[in-house]
Chain A
C-alpha cells in the first residue's frame, strides 16, 4: 500500500501522532522557506495550498510583497471541493508563478530538501519541499509551464498538471491565462489521483471548464502494461539535456519496456523554440494580469498626489526584479509597433508547435521525457541570469501547448538529487499518465 493510501486509512490516534510529526517538521525545517502561513489545529490528513490560490479567511500573498497581508475573502473552487482534509498552510512560490526555481519568492528562496544550497524547482516550490520533508500529505499547486512538475522533479515527489479546462481556476492569481492550471502534488501517484478526483469538473465561475464525465482516477490506476504505447522523444538525449539526467530517464524507459510497455520514438526538431515562444507570449499575458496590483484596492500603497504617480511608485517599490522584467517585456512585445514582430510571431510559433506535438502524440498513449533537463542549480548560480533560468523549461511546454496533462514521477537519483520522469498524454487523457506512473512506481 502506498503512503497516501495508508494515511487515508489511519485510525484517529495514529493520525494525530502523524500530524504532530508534520508540525514538528515544519518547525524544524523553517530555513527551507516552504511555508508562508501555517494553519494550526489540523486533525485530518493534511494538504498544503500554494499561496497563489485563495482560501477564505487566510492570507494569500502569491509570494509577492505587493499584496503582503492580503486576506482572501473567498476560496478557490478547487479548495472548496476538497473533502475530509485539513489545510495545514499556504506555501511559497516564485512570486505569482514567475520562475522554475523557487528562488524568486519575496519571503526568501525556497531551498532544495536534498541539498539546501540548491533550488527546489518552481514555481510550486514550497509544496515540493513540504511533501519531501513530510510536512503534509498532499498539496495543491499550479502549473502554467512546468510550475508543479519542476518542484516535483527536483524534490522527488509526484505532481500532475491536468488538462486545460479540467479543473476550475476560480480563485487562482493568474500568470498566463491561456496556460494556467491548478493540479495536485503528493507523495505518490495514488495521492495525486485521489486529489484530482475531488477537484475536477465544470464550474460556472470558470467558463473554460469542460462539462466532462467525472472519473474517480484513484480507483482506475491498474492497467496491463501491454495495452500502453509510450512515445520516447529523440530530444531526450540532445545536447541541452544533462548526460546524467538523460541516462537516468533512458534507464526508466528500459524498465518500462521490460515490463511490457511498447515503445516508439519520435522527433520534435522545434522543441527548443518552445522556450522563447513561451516567454514572449506569457510576458504579454502576465503584463495584463498584473495591472490589478496597483495599490488601490489591496496591498500597501505609496504616497502621492495623482493616480499615476501612486500606482507607479507602489509597483516600483513592491514588485521584484523578475516581475518587473516580465511586465516590461510583455509591455514591449505588445506595443503597437512591436506586436507583429514579437507577440504575433510567438502566437504563430505556438500554433505550429501545437500541430507538431499533437502529430507526435498520435503515435502512442503517453509521451516520455525528463521533467527537467538539468539537475537543480545552486541558488546563487541563477539569480541574475534569466536565460539560464528559462532554459530549464525545455520539456515544460509539451503539455501546456496542446492543453494536455503531464505527470512527473521520481525515476532515480544522481547522488542525493532526485530525477523526474515526465509522462504526457493527449488532452483529457490524464488517466493514461496516472496509470503509467502507477505502473512505474510498482517496478521499483
Chain B
C-alpha cells in the first residue's frame, strides 16, 4: 500500500509510527471488506432513481459577517489571511 501517496492526496502529515500503524490497520480492514465479493454483484445501480435538484442562485445579505470573521485563524481588516498557493 502506497501510504505516503495516500497521505499526500489526503493532505495529512503522518509520523512514521502512524504510517506503520495505519498501513497494518487499513490492510486488515480491506481484507475484511473483501467479503462483499461473495455477494456476486452484477449491474446493480444505486443512484439511478436520483435526480439533481437545482435552485436559483440568489444573493442574500448575511447579517452577521463579523461572526464569520471572528472564526478566522488569521485575519486583517475583515478578510481572512491565507498562505501562498502559487
Contact = CB atoms under 8 A, between A and B. Distances in A.
A348 B64 CA distance: 44
B71 A297 contact: yes
A412 interface: no
A345 B30 CA distance: 12
A236 B23 CA distance: 34
A297 B44 contact: no
A228 interface: no
Interface string A314-329: 0111010100110111
Interface in A296-323: 296-301, 304-313, 315-317, 319, 321
B22 A352 contact: no
B72 A311 contact: no
Nearest to B34: A276
Contact of B39 (A270, A300, A309): A270
Given A306-B84, A324-B22, A71 B35 contact: no
B41 A328 contact: no
Contact of A319 (B12, B44, B70): B12
28 contacts: A71-B70, A73-B62, A207-B53, A272-B35, A273-B38, A273-B39, A279-B29, A287-B10, A295-B73, A298-B73, A299-B73, A301-B74, A304-B83, A306-B84, A307-B83, A307-B85, A312-B13, A317-B13, A325-B22, A328-B10, A328-B22, A331-B9, A332-B1, A348-B45, A349-B39, A349-B41, A351-B46, A355-B44
A321 B18 CA distance: 9
A309 B50 CA distance: 39
Nearest to A67: B71
Majority-rule SS of A interface residues: helix
Taking residues whose C-beta sits less than 8 angstroms from the other chain, chain B's interface range is: 35 or more
A307 B32 contact: no
Given A71-B71, A208-B53, A325-B22, 9 more contacts: A71-B67, A276-B35, A300-B73, A325-B25, A325-B26, A327-B12, A328-B10, A329-B26, A350-B46
Contacts of A295: 73
B77 interface: no
Contacts of A1: none
A38 to B, nearest CB: 21
Contacts of A273: 35-36, 38-39
B36 A349 contact: yes
B85 to A, nearest CB: 4
Contact of A386 (B3, B9, B10, B25): B25
Contact of A297 (B18, B32, B80, B83): B80
Contacts of B62: 73
